[in-house]
Amino acid sequence: MLEIRKIEPEMTYSVRHIVLRPHQTVEDCKYDTDHQDNAFHVGAFYQGELVSVASFCVEKHLDFPIKKQYRLRAMATLKDFRKLGAGRSLVNYAEDFIKEQGFNILWCKGRTTVQGYYSRLGFKAHGEVFDYPPIGPHIIMYKKLGSCCYST
Ligand SMILES: CC(C)(COP(=O)(O)OP(=O)(O)OC[C@H]1O[C@@H](n2cnc3c(N)ncnc32)[C@H](O)[C@@H]1OP(=O)(O)O)[C@@H](O)C(=O)NCCC(=O)NCCS
């Protein structure tokens, strides 16, 4: 029912805009990391319609003493298609690819409003809640992949 595949960064912008930054411009939905080396973007399609997106880039969070880290950015599922497994399916797809590349950790700045979602996907919280203007409270969430030796 859901088709998961890599997509071009430009395809993520409309879902990012509707879901994540409705009060900002489409221009604000373009991230500096979108075209970075090794960055990739994944979409979930329901009956041919793009309903969920997320983006992944190589970025090191200094709190994690591990060289090979990926960051998850701009995770968003259209309201009418939530709780159908779209977000989980595309993150799982990305994790497989990231593991294949020999990377050991996936982390994100997660909105505290959806911390439960990341927990369901096996992410753990790290550190204190912080403000991420103009969006609001966030917390670092991370997930060890493969044979990662970092422990908290
Ligand atoms: C968070 C979000 C991406 C989840 O997408 P989704 O496609 O509905 O997620 P899934 O259907 O794959 O859910 C996977 C699991 O998480 C749970 N879940 C989904 N949203 C949740 C939430 N807001 N809080 C707690 N659990 C949640 C689901 O029930 C499911 O649980 P299960 O293990 O029992 O099956 C979506 O709600 C969204 O776009 N929210 C607004 C934007 C946002 O906050 N993005 C994150 C920015 S950091």
Domain ranges of the chain: 2-144
Q: Would you say 89 and 4 are in contact if contact means Cβ atoms under 8 Å apart? A: yes
| Mutate which of 82, 108, 121 for ligand 1 pocket (most atoms within 8 A of beta carbon) | 82
Band of pLDDT at residue 1, cut at 50, 70 and 90: confident
> What one-character DSSP code corresponds to residue 24?
S
Answer whether residue 150 shows pLDDT above 70: no
Q: Report, as an integer, the average pLDDT of 18-39.
A: 96
**Mean of the per-residue pLDDT values of the chain:** 95
How many residues make up the chain in this entry?
152
pLDDT band at 152 (very low <50, low <70, confident <90, very high): low
pLDDT at 146: 78
Indicate if the alpha-carbon torsion angle 67, 151, 92, 111 is positive or negative: negative
Are 43 and 11 contacting, i.e. CB atoms less than 8 angstroms apart? yes
Q: How confident is the model at residue 149 (pLDDT cuts 50, 70, 90)?
A: low
Distance 45 CA to ligand 1 centre (A): 16
pLDDT at 2: 96
* pLDDT 10s digits, 74-132: 999 999 999 999 999 999 999 999 999 999 999 999 999 999 999 999 999 999 999 99
- What pLDDT, on the 0 to 100 scale, is given for residue 118? 98
**What distance in Å separates the CA atoms of residue 93 and residue 85, rounded to the nearest whole number?**
12
Residue in this structure with the two tokens 């909105």, named with its chain if needed = 111
pTM: 0.96
Note the pLDDT tens digit of each residue in 130-145. Answer: 999 888 999 999 999 9
Smallest Cα–Cα separation from 95: which of 60, 66, 131, 69? 69
Evaluate whether the domain defined by 2-144 bears CATH number 3.40.50.10140: no
Tell how far the Cα of 142 is from the centroid of ligand 1, in angstroms: 16
First to last CA, the chain: 38
